[in-house]
Amino acid sequence: MIIPTIDTALEALVRQALPLPTALGDVSFDSPSGTWSAQLNRITVNLFLFGVGRSPQPPRPAVDRIVDGRTQRRPPLPLLQLHYLVTAWAGSVRDEHQLIGDVLTAFLITQALPPEHLPADITSGVQLAVAPHDNNRAKDVWSTVGGTIKPSFELVVTTASDALPYVDLPTSVARIERMLEGYTAPPEPVSMPAFGRS
């Protein structure tokens, strides 16, 4: 499934960009509810996935590959948009402002997930964008999860769906022609003259 793959890549990017080693803090994808935040005891960057939908961008083009000498094609993949509410949690307000600023800067200067954070089968690229601020949208999310409003921003991730598999393509005409090279057709049968009655 593509979403857990994106989550893992986002965590790797955050930890590398800040940096935020595992010994120092956490990267969480939990709902930032009051119950959840009350249990925090370490620096935490939270990326809460609150929206998933189809992207208005056109599908990515079909992709071909060769497996065991056979050509396979994956049909054009529709694009998905994943919407994350990003927040920072630390011991003081100043520390939180510093942390959320560092995270925001990291995503502003990174327009795509680096390939080293993605598995090899993700070949179409994953776009990153910080959405324009929408105060009402943020309030709606906080109201839904039941948490206290904090400085936050919306991260939009655009990626191809992995719903369509590769399929084998029919043998190409060129390959058939190569197979026929050197093939000699059998001689045509000799037609015998017809003898009529006199």
Q: How far apart are CA 93 and CA 100, in angstroms?
A: 10
pLDDT of residue 56: 84
Q: Which amino acid is at 189?
A: P
Q: What is the pLDDT of residues 27-57, one digit of tens each?
A: 999 999 999 999 999 999 999 999 999 988 8
Of 163, 145, 161, which Cα lies nearest the Cα of 52?
A: 161
pLDDT of residue 46: 98
Written as six digits, the tokens of 122 are 């993700």
Q: Which amino acid is at 45?
A: V
Residue 186 lies in a domain: no
Residue 84 belongs to what H/E stretch? Answer: strand 79-89
Token match 């206290």: residue? 148
Range of the domain at 134: 2-180
Residue 194 lies in a domain: no
Q: How far apart are CA 69 and CA 66, in angstroms?
A: 6
Q: Which long-range contacts (CB under 8 A, 24 or more apart) does 91-95 make?
A: 91/43, 95/43
Residue 197 lies in a domain: no
Residue 192 lies in a domain: no
Q: Is the pLDDT of residue 198 over 70?
A: no
The secondary structure of residue 178, as a DSSP letter, is H
The secondary structure of residue 22, as a DSSP letter, is T
pLDDT of residue 139: 82
Of 4, 15, 16, which Cα lies nearest the Cα of 159?
A: 4
Q: How far apart are CA 157 and CA 6, in angstroms?
A: 9
pLDDT of residue 68: 81
Contact (CB, 8 A) for 152 and 86: yes
Q: How far apart are CA 127 and CA 111, in angstroms?
A: 6
Q: What is the pLDDT of residues 123-176, one digit of tens each?
A: 778 999 999 988 778 888 888 898 888 999 999 999 988 766 667 788 665 555
Residue 189 lies in a domain: no
Q: Is the pLDDT of residue 3 over 80?
A: yes
Residue 80 lies in a domain: yes
- β-partners of residue 156 are 83, 129
Written as six digits, the tokens of 28 are 């969480």
pLDDT of residue 176: 56
Q: What is the pLDDT of residues 59-111, one digit of tens each?
A: 767 777 788 888 877 777 789 999 999 999 999 999 999 999 999 999 999 99
pLDDT of residue 125: 84
Structurally, the chain folds into a number of domains equal to 1
Residue 190 lies in a domain: no
For strands 43-54 and 25-28, give the pairing.
parallel
Q: Is the pLDDT of residue 14 over 60?
A: yes
Residue 105 lies in a domain: yes
